[in-house]
Structure 1
Amino acid sequence: MIQIDASTAVFDSLKLTGVDLVVSVPCINLKDVLTMIDNDPTMLHIPVTREEEGVGICAGAYMGGRIPVMLMQNSGLGNSINALASLNNLFHIPLLLIMSHRGCEGETICAQYPMGQMTPSLLDTLGIPYVVPTIDTVEDAIHYAWRIAIEKKRPVAVLLEIGFWEAE
């Protein structure tokens, strides 16, 4: 069996899902995935400075026929709550959110803990389903998340916890 690194697993899963537009906010855990996206001519990558800006771009891209994904750190969830609630949830716009979940078990930076601990509860409060895959299940998790986003016409999150990246 060939060992695949975590970033390649995420990138390959996005490709297989048909993602053709990626909006991102910088995150150290996602940097290698973003490099792969930048090097792929079939994916348009739009870096943004704030998460709510990315939510709006993804909504417009979806309405224009694209399959968008937002790559972000979970700490940015707080920045995007209003856009997710008043745009995506209100108008039933699907969105695939790939989040590096900082502040959970194994975190070494104490400032990451408050938002890390609140992330699942915030997603529940917003009615945003989420999955927490391992490297072995990430392909199925990303496919599943996009299928649910389309069926339920709402955002769905894939939380990549610190342990996910340990395979690299």
Structure 2
Amino acid sequence: MDSSKAIYKALKDNNINFIVSVPCINLARVLEMIDQDKEIKHVPVTREEEGFGIAAGAYMAGEDTAILMQNSGLGNSINVIASLYKLYKIPILMIISHRGTRGEFMKAQIPMGEATPLLLEALKIPYHVPSTPEEAYNDIKSAWKLAKAKKYPTAILLEVSFW
């Protein structure tokens, strides 16, 4: 199974039925699969904070939610994660394209790549860093199970070398 199919299959198998996303070249194939799936509501957004707000509303309406985004938007989302998701115990699965890691070709991505795990740790958000499609599938399953049980955000960091 390739990386994109593993992520899509994990989302489907875990009944995540509402996804917001911000464009990202690494997540493009997954987003194409999601777009073609009539059982998943997909809302593309221009900014991560907007996506978190929409996903929170969807959760309140009974949907199981995820956001697919690049790590550059994590910094923009700190306030909404801390003051909305953590405060009101809203689960969400964050699938994050972790730019600035091993194999990155754009030096401008490296500072945020280094900061990403530190930001998640500061927010006390559990995260997984899978290195194979099989690990990604299993990590998504366990991360979503934890998010739902604890009513808390969880994250999957997909490093450049993952793709």
Deviations 1:86-130 (A, max 9, x none): 100111111100000000111110010010000000000011110
1:115 alignment partner, one of 112, 116, 119: 112
Please tell me the residue identity of whatever aligns with 1:81: I
Please tell me the residue identity of whatever aligns with 1:102: R
Matched-pair identity in %: 56
Please tell me the residue identity of whatever aligns with 1:142: I
Cα distance in 2, alignment partners of residues 161 and 74 from structure 1: 10
2:151 alignment partner, one of 150, 153, 167: 153
**Equivalent residue, structure 2, for 1:143:** 141
Alignment map for 1:24-63 (pairs within 5 Å):
24-63=21-60
**Equivalent residue, structure 2, for 1:85:** 82
Alignment TM-score, normalising by the size of structure 2: 0.97
Cα distance in 1, alignment partners of residues 146 and 134 from structure 2: 20
**Equivalent residue, structure 2, for 1:8:** 5
Please tell me the residue identity of whatever aligns with 1:137: E
**Equivalent residue, structure 2, for 1:96:** 93
How far apart are residue 152 of structure 1 and its match? 1.7
| SS of residue in 2 equivalent to 1:122 | helix
Please tell me the residue identity of whatever aligns with 1:99: I
Q: Once superposed, which parts of structure 1, at least 4 consecutive aligned residues long, lie more than 6 Å away?
A: none
Relative to structure 2, which stretch is displaced further, 131-140 or 108-117?
131-140
Deviations 1:26-75 (A, max 9, x none): 00000010000000110111000110111111111111111111000011
| Aligned CA-pair RMSD | 0.7
Cα distance in 1, alignment partners of residues 127 and 139 from structure 2: 9
Alignment TM-score, normalising by the size of structure 1: 0.94
Cα distance in 2, alignment partners of residues 154 and 111 from structure 1: 31
| SS of residue in 2 equivalent to 1:71 | strand
How far apart are residue 135 of structure 1 and its match? 1.3
Please tell me the residue identity of whatever aligns with 1:114: P
**Equivalent residue, structure 2, for 1:127:** 124
Are 1:19 and 2:37 matched, yes or no? Answer: no
Q: How many residues align?
A: 162
How far apart are residue 159 of structure 1 and its match? 0.5
Q: Show structure 1 runs of 5+ residues with no match.
A: none
| SS of residue in 1 equivalent to 2:134 | coil
